[in-house]
Chain A
């Protein structure tokens, strides 16, 4: 039985279809990400699982139970909010213990379990502080502890890392994933950051304009994007269509190829039998430290992005490639037909 199932769920706000006929199954114990640009319906979906919002039509099942009509306080899920939503008038201890206090758990038991939780999120001894005395990253951890202490059937995370700086965000990504493995609870993670979704998730649902465009494991979504939107939104992608597509791959159907899959060689090189290739002019070179990005204008006018790891070259060498011609080649298995 899936942990959560959406059955033809729609949520309309007047004329706006925030969520439009979504069908979805999320499995027990998985780290599931809802990825999409702002306004794509991912947060509305999360809010409907939590009970803050109700579907206009369709049904939502939590472990087989239909929950669309249940208020948030009768659903066995907990949420980590984007702004953390810590109660400013309570200490960290009281914040984390809130769910237990509501359930009527004894004070002694509460203190014990809060300490365990603070241990888990690596904030031992912070119980007496007020949220205003904590940094953003620490508030984040308290919010996580407050939700997890109730042992929910699913943990909902609404862009929880959005307000943190890059270093802290990457650290928290690793920690969240580790905590999820340890507690074994289903995590549903809403984000607009494709890298975050790729790093952390077991599966990803890509949202656009209220609909789910593709659901799959990170590698699947990345390597085999189902539509031009997914190809463009998850990672960078080169979309080739029309005349150029026909000349390279033998069909006018649009295809995508990832920048790192493309080999940049000299124009006298002969690509192997399973390779697709095209010649172009290197218009621009951007040195990015870890790798270098080349913008190559191919015959037919469109640009292909090629990235190469900086294994040996120095920045001077790579910049010298600007204005030169190159033969770009890639294995025929590395293209995805994205329709259109």
Chain B
């Protein structure tokens, strides 16, 4: 019986394809793209100011609203944070990913990858609040800085308009530290995977042809690892853009996109505006990926 059905499947490869792809495709279309579509269509409704009711008619009124100065500021604040977090994550992740991919022994590699992903095993909320304690005025980091007699430097840093605050936990700097910590694995793993696929002989060939290590890095390693960097930065960038827990737990009272969306759809009851605000990250990611393609990020795929 089993044999007969496998022979039947062998002779009907399209049926196999349909059976294998059907469920995930259905899920993608209904749940995944469907919800995005609902989001998009909601963003074209608007909130009637006087009645507080949502008018389900096509309108660009909400989109005009997301360009008002307050919302623009939220957007720039969030995008800047996401960009800085992404760049710094990439700078930290690359050497580590390179070491894991090209130098670590098989055994060490396993342990390093476990080490990188270990934080993901525990709750994100717990880790964010743990950082709130670490970064607090009386926290362990402040204590350590005190031991190193660097209080002056910390105070100087926290005095900066826009990124400072009364303590690390209540400043954008603290938020930035936590963002980088939380998203770093999502940067390390794609870069490591990309580097894993670069044959060692290419690196040898480059140095054989006279290139110094830095030239080899710029001309051979970086271009070939670039798709990994783009994949990783897509994660760090979009996750930072949409996050609302970290800005809620740390930092000052200034809103990020995620927080704005959270409060518009919740207490604000303005679902159209919340939906329109989430279109910001979507639009930015589309532009980002198009630019990356322009730069040839996907040529080597």
**CB-based contact A83/B201 at 8 Å:** yes
| Contact residues in A for B201 (Cβ distance below 8 Å) | 81-83, 85
**CB-based contact A102/B204 at 8 Å:** no
Which of the four size classes fits the interface of chain B? 20 to 34
With beta carbons under 8 angstroms apart, the residue of B204, B215, B219, B300 that contacts A88 is B300
Distance A81 CA – B207 CA, assembled complex (angstroms)? 13
**CB contact under 8 A between A150 and B199, given known A85-B204, A89-B296:** no
**CB contact under 8 A between A98 and B204, given known A88-B224, A89-B224, A89-B296:** no
Q: Tell whether B148 is near chain A: CB-to-CB under 8 Å.
A: no
Closest to B300 in A: A89
Distance A150 CA – B209 CA, assembled complex (angstroms)? 8
**CB-based contact A73/B204 at 8 Å:** no
- Cβ contacts B218-241/A at 8 Å (1 or 0 each): 011001100000000000000000
| Contact residues in B for A51 (Cβ distance below 8 Å) | 207-208
Q: Tell whether B24 is near chain A: CB-to-CB under 8 Å.
A: no
Q: Tell whether A61 is near chain B: CB-to-CB under 8 Å.
A: no
**CB-based contact A150/B210 at 8 Å:** yes
With beta carbons under 8 angstroms apart, the residue of B210, B223, B224, B299 that contacts A102 is B210
**CB-based contact B204/A81 at 8 Å:** yes
- Cβ contacts A61-84/B at 8 Å (1 or 0 each): 000000000011100011101110
Q: Tell whether A103 is near chain B: CB-to-CB under 8 Å.
A: yes
Shortest beta-carbon distance, A69 to chain B, in Å? 15
Q: Tell whether A99 is near chain B: CB-to-CB under 8 Å.
A: yes
| Contact residues in A for B212 (Cβ distance below 8 Å) | 73
Q: Tell whether A50 is near chain B: CB-to-CB under 8 Å.
A: yes
**CB contact under 8 A between A99 and B199, given known A85-B205, A87-B220, A89-B299:** no
Distance A147 CA – B210 CA, assembled complex (angstroms)? 11
Distance A51 CA – B206 CA, assembled complex (angstroms)? 12
With beta carbons under 8 angstroms apart, the residue of B199, B206, B223, B300 that contacts A98 is B206
| Contact residues in B for A87 (Cβ distance below 8 Å) | 202, 205-206, 219-220
Distance A161 CA – B30 CA, assembled complex (angstroms)? 54
Closest to B198 in A: A88
With beta carbons under 8 angstroms apart, the residue of B202, B207, B215 that contacts A72 is B207
Scan residues 151-208 of chain B and give those whose CB is less than 8 A from a CB of chain A: 199, 201-202, 204-208
**CB-based contact B224/A98 at 8 Å:** no
Shortest beta-carbon distance, B222 to chain A, in Å? 10
Q: Tell whether B40 is near chain A: CB-to-CB under 8 Å.
A: no
Distance A216 CA – B4 CA, assembled complex (angstroms)? 65
**CB-based contact A78/B199 at 8 Å:** no
**CB-based contact B202/A79 at 8 Å:** no
| Contact residues in A for B209 (Cβ distance below 8 Å) | 73, 78, 98-99, 102, 146-147, 150
Q: Tell whether B211 is near chain A: CB-to-CB under 8 Å.
A: yes
Known: A73-B209, A146-B209. 20 other contacts (CB 8 A): A50-B204, A52-B208, A72-B204, A72-B208, A73-B211, A78-B209, A79-B204, A81-B204, A85-B199, A85-B202, A86-B205, A87-B202, A87-B220, A89-B223, A89-B296, A98-B209, A99-B210, A102-B211, A147-B208, A150-B210
13 example contacts (A-B, Cβ-Cβ < 8 A) are as follows A50-B208, A51-B208, A73-B208, A81-B201, A81-B204, A82-B201, A83-B199, A85-B202, A87-B220, A89-B300, A98-B211, A102-B211, A147-B208
Q: Which 9 A-B pairs have the closest CB atoms?
A: A85-B201, A85-B205, A99-B209, A72-B207, A102-B210, A73-B207, A79-B208, A81-B201, A102-B211
Chain B residues with CB under 8 Å of chain A are 199, 201-202, 204-212, 215, 219-220, 223-224, 296, 299-300
Chain A residues with CB under 8 Å of chain B are 50-52, 71-73, 77-79, 81-83, 85-89, 98-99, 102-103, 146-147, 150
